[in-house]
Amino acid sequence: MIRIIDEKVLKSNSYHKTSLLTYEDGMRFIFKICSLDKNAVSRIAQASPLNVVKVFGYTDNSMLTEFVSGRDLTNPVLDVAKMYESILQICDGLIALHGMGIIHRDIKPSNLILGNDGIVRIADLESAVFTGGNAITDKVFRGTGEYAAPEMLNNQPVDHRADIYSLGITISELTGNCFMDFPFQDIIKGCTAFSPNKRFSSVNQIREIVSGYYENLFSDYFDFID
C-alpha cells in the first residue's frame, strides 16, 4: 500500500479543511473534509468531465480530488487568445455540470484552475448540489457574496441560472484588463440581470456567442496580415 508522506494544510476553518496530500510515489491529491452532496459528487466522479477536477473518492463528509499543477484565475495575466479559450472552457465545464442536473453555486476566479496543460478546470466541488434540473431553496448559504446571484443572497429558489450570474461576474473580471473587453459587455449584462428570467437561459447560449467572437477576432486578424 502506498503511504502518504506529507500533508500540507491549504485551508482550514470550523466548517472544512483542505489539504494537499503527497504519496511516496510522488502523486499528489487534494483532500477535503467538508459537508457535500454525495448525489452531485458521485455523478461528477462517474462522468469525469474534462473541465471539472476529477473526483477519486468521497464519503459523507470528505472528498479526494486531483491536484492540478497550475494557478487559479484570480488576477490572471492572459493574452487575448488565452482569455477567450479560458472562458470557453469554463462554459464547457458548466455545460457538463448542468447537463448532469448539478449546480456548482460558487463559480469565481479562485475556483477555476488553469493547469500547466492549458486546460481550465472547475474546482471546489463541496458547494455543488444535484437538483435534477429543478429549483431548490438553500437552508444554508453556499457561495461567495460578491459572486452570488441575488436569489441566493435572498434565500429564494435557485437553479442553474445562479451559476450563469456568477459566470457573468467572473467574465467581467477576466476581461476587465483586456483591450478586447467591449464585445463581452452584452454577455455580462445577459448573465447578471437581477431576475433569473432575464438572464441567459443556458450556458450553451453564452458559449455560442463567445465562440463567434473568437472566430471573428482571428478571422479579422488573418485578413489584416494578408
Residue positions annotated with a catalytic role: 106
Other beta carbons within 10 Å of 59 = 11
Dist. CA 182–CA 38, nearest whole Å: 40
Other beta carbons within 10 Å of 8 = 10
C-alpha cell at 121: 478546470
Q: Are residues 162 and 105 in contact, defined by beta-carbon separation less than 8 angstroms?
A: yes
Residue in the block written with cell 443572497: 153
C-alpha cell at 124: 471546489
Q: Are residues 108 and 123 in contact, defined by beta-carbon separation less than 8 angstroms?
A: no
Dist. CA 215–CA 140, nearest whole Å: 42
DSSP strand pairing (4-12 vs 112-115): unpaired
Q: Where are the alpha helices (DSSP H) in 100-202?
A: 150-153, 161-175, 185-191
Dist. CA 78–CA 14, nearest whole Å: 35
- Closest by CA to 86, choosing from 74, 98, 97, is 74
Q: In this structure, what DSSP letter does residue 158 have? A: B
